[in-house]
Amino acid sequence: MSKKKTVLGVLAAAIALAYAGSTWWAGNKVKSVYDSAFAQLPQQSALVRVTERSYERGFLGAVSTVTLELGCPADAAVAGAPPADTEEEDGEDAAPTPSRPLRLSFRDTIRHGPLAGGSLAAATIDSELLLDIKGQAEARKVFGDARPFGAHTRVGFDGGYASEITLAPGQFADEGKTRVSWQGAQLRVRVDGARTEAHYELALPGFEAADLRNGVNLKMGKLGARADLDIRHGWMLATGKSAGRLDALEFTVTGKKADADAALAKPFPAIVLQGLDAASDATIENGLYTGTATFKGTGSVGATRIDGFEMASSTRRIDVAGYRKLAEAWTRSAAANGCVRGKASQAALRALADQLAPDLKAMAKPGPEVGLDRLLVEIDGQRAEFSYSVAMAGVTDEDLQLPGNALLLKRGVLKANGRLPVKWIEKIAESASGSQAPSPEVAALMIEQFEQQGYLKRAGDDVTSQVEFSGGQLKLIGKPVELPAK
C-alpha cells in the first residue's frame, strides 16, 4: 500500500469518526430536548397531560411517539382539590361534569445530523397526527385524501429551530345544523438557540361558518399575521412588534326559523368589516411591562356605511415578576380551569385568591394602568369618540396593609371621556321611537335637559361627557358627585 493511500485511508477514517461523533452528539441533544420539554409540559397547565410516550432511538435517527390529553381529567375530583360531598353532587347546586378530555397522538420522525434530510442541521423532524381506523374515516370526511396535519422542523446546532406547520383545507357539515369550511392554514415559527428571540408568520386563506337552524353566517377573508418577539421572559410576557391584516369579515343573520314551530326571527343588519389592520408593540424596562395595540378598518352595518373606525388600547407599568407568578398559578390551578365541581370549586378558588392576594396587591405599587386610549367611529364625516383608563396611583407600603376593596377606593383611578354627534342622537331616538321620527327641536330639548342635570355638555354639533374617580371622589364633568353611603 502506498503512502498516499495510507494517508487517504486515515483521513477517511477520521472523517467517518468525526461524522459518527457528530451524529451521536446530535442524537443525544435532540433526545435531551424532548425529555425536558415533555417533563415540563404538565407543570405548565392543568389542561395538558402526557399519557403515553415512547422514544426509539437509532444511530441515524429516532422516532418519538406521544399521546397528549387535553382538557380536564376524566375524573372531576382532581387531586389537591377539596372533595365534593355527595349531597352537592345530587342536589341543585351540583355543577355540570367537565367535558371529556381530548386525546391526540403525534409521531415525530427524526433524522440526526450533521447531514439531516439532505441539509446541514443537527436534526430534521417530520411530525404527523396519528389516527385510529375510526379517526381516519372521520378525517376523510373532513379533509378528503389530504393529510390533515403536518409539520417539518429543522434543528440548528445551537439548539434553535425553524418549523413549518400546515393544516389542510377541509369542511365539516352536520346535516341541517352547522356547516364549517376553511381553505387551510400555515404557520412558520423560528426560535433561536438561546430561547430569547422568536419570529412567526401565520396565513389563513379563508374561513366560513354557518348555523343553519338560525340562519347565522360568518365569513372571513384572507388573514395574515407576523411577529418578531423577545421571549426571554416567557411566551406569556413576550415583547416586540406584531402586525396582522384581515381582508374582510362578514356577519349576517337571515332570520330563518330555529324549528318548525318557532316564530320567524327578525333579520339582523348585516355587519361587514373590510381592510382590518392590527398591530401591537410591547416592551419591558426596569421589570415593568408596557404594551400598546391598535385595530382599524372600514365597513358597514346594514345600509349604514362606516367610513372608518379605530381602536387603540394600552397596558402600562405591569410588574413582570408579579404577573408571571399570578399567571402561572392560575394556569396550573385545576379549579381556575373549571376542572373542579360545585362547592369544591368555590373553596379552591377562594384558597387560590387568598394565596395570590399579597402578590396582586404588591403589583399596585408601580401604578399599573390599563385602558382604551381611543375608540373612534366615523360616519358621513362625523366622528364619535370614547376612551377610558383604570389605574392605581400613589400606592405606599402602608397602603398595601389595607384590604383589597379599601385599597381600590383609596388609590384607584378611573377616567372616561365620550363625544357623540347630535345627528347620531337624533337617529338613535328615531330608531327607539319606531316610524315616528322626533324633530331636531325635540332632540335638542332632551340634550338641554341632560345638560342641566350635569350629565353632558353641548359642544357645537357634538355632545361630550366626562367621568373621573380618584382619591375616593367621583366627579361628573368636573363636578363632585356624592357617593351612596356605605
Number of H helices, E strands in the chain: 8, 26
Rounded CA gap, 188 and 278, in Å? 19
pLDDT tens digit sequence for 342-386: 788 888 888 888 888 888 888 999 999 999 999 999 998 899 999
Separation between Cα atoms, residue 392 and residue 412, nearest integer Å:
5
| Top-confidence range, 4-13, 200-209, 356-365 | 200-209
Confidence of residue 388 (pLDDT cuts 50, 70, 90): very high
Residue 80's pLDDT is what? 43
Coil, helix or strand for 97? Answer: coil
What's the pLDDT score for residue 220?
Answer: 95
Domains identified in the chain and CATH numbers: 1-84+98-168 (no CATH), 399-481 (1.10.10)
Distance CA 438, CA 455 (A): 21
| Predicted confidence (pLDDT) per residue in 164-187, tens digit | 999 999 998 888 789 999 999 999
Instruction: Look at residue 15 and tell me whether its pLDDT is greater than 80.
Output: no
Do 341 and 97 touch, CB atoms closer than 8 A? yes
More confident residue, 343 or 300: 300
Mean pLDDT of all residues in 221-243 = 94
Q: How far apart are CA 302 and CA 298, in angstroms?
A: 13
Q: What is the pLDDT of residue 353?
A: 85
Torsion sign over Cα 107, 112, 118, 120: positive
